[in-house]
Amino acid sequence: MKARFGVSRGKALALAALAAIVASTLSASEYALAADGRGRSQHWGVITRNTIGSPVAELRDGPFGSFGVQGSSARPPYGQGSLGIEVADKSTSLADPREKVDFGNEVDFFGDPVLGLEQLGFHVFQTGENIAYGGPENMPNIRFEIDANLNALPADNFTTMTWVPDAAPVTNQWSGFIDATSTGYWYFTGAEGAATGCTQAAQCTFAQAKTALDDGGDAPIIYTAAVGKGRDHMWIGAVDGLRINRYVYDFEAGGVRTRLALGNA
């Protein structure tokens, strides 16, 4: 019997065997990328309207180290690269001189349900210098611009839902996965903060923030998703392996790869 597309049965079996060998040599994360088929997303980048000053949010190789650090914590958790972030605290001519940057996606998450968010977090390269600049909790954030659709604010359709992490578990090397659903705190900007009771002063857990949005009215929806920093303290470091539900976003110098999450990201 002839194989389809002009490939003999013998050649088809040989190709299948070769594919199995190649798959067996891939790491778990690389195989997830190949099997998922989503490949690279072209919609990630600096969100220009959320940029203040001259900060840096750049896809890069590394960082590797710091010096003397070996093993898995000495390299980005996925691939060879990461998202490098640099913000300053006194560099603009504005009344508030601090910088701000968001590196995110304004396309792929638009219209998704906020209440459908279940798994969130990232890996971070924190330094001792960053702690000196702003304390142990001087860390980058996850931010979702959303329409909260609160019954109490029917004419208000914009707020930023922000995660503030706890202190990084390690410094001068890559951390393990930091879970944004069980550590740190969340708050909403604008009137939504007061309406929900989730402000920077009145900090909410992830579960509390979602419960506050679930007020029986129209479901809250996502506009954008981003990793950001500012406006607060100077910070120079990197983030990789941003997890949003079942996908991990692998920041590489050549672009952002979308991987299926395998267990604890």
Is the bond preceding 66 in cis, omega lying within 30 degrees of 0?
yes
* Residue whose token pair is 């393990």: 176
Hey, what are 142's tokens? 């996850």
The predicted pLDDT at position 263 comes to: 76
- Those residues whose C-beta lies under 8 Å from the C-beta of residue 263, and which sit 6 or more positions away, are none
Strand residues in 185-246 grouped as ranges (E): 185-188, 221-229, 235-244
Q: Are the CB atoms for 82 and 238 separated by under 8 Å?
A: yes
Higher-confidence residue of 14 and 151: namely: 151
What is the per-residue pLDDT for 59?
98
Q: Is the pLDDT of residue 17 over 60?
A: no
**pLDDT at position 230 over 50:** yes
Q: How confident is the model at residue 1 (pLDDT cuts 50, 70, 90)?
A: very low
Please name the residues in contact with 208: beta carbons below 8 A apart, sequence gap of 6 or more.
186, 198
pLDDT in tens, 103-142: 999 999 999 999 999 999 999 999 999 999 999 999 999 9
* pLDDT, averaged across the chain: 89
* Residue burial 107-135, b: 16+ Cβ < 10 Å; e: rest: ebbeebebeebebbbbbbbbbeebbebee
Sequence ranges of the domains in the chain: 1-37, 40-260
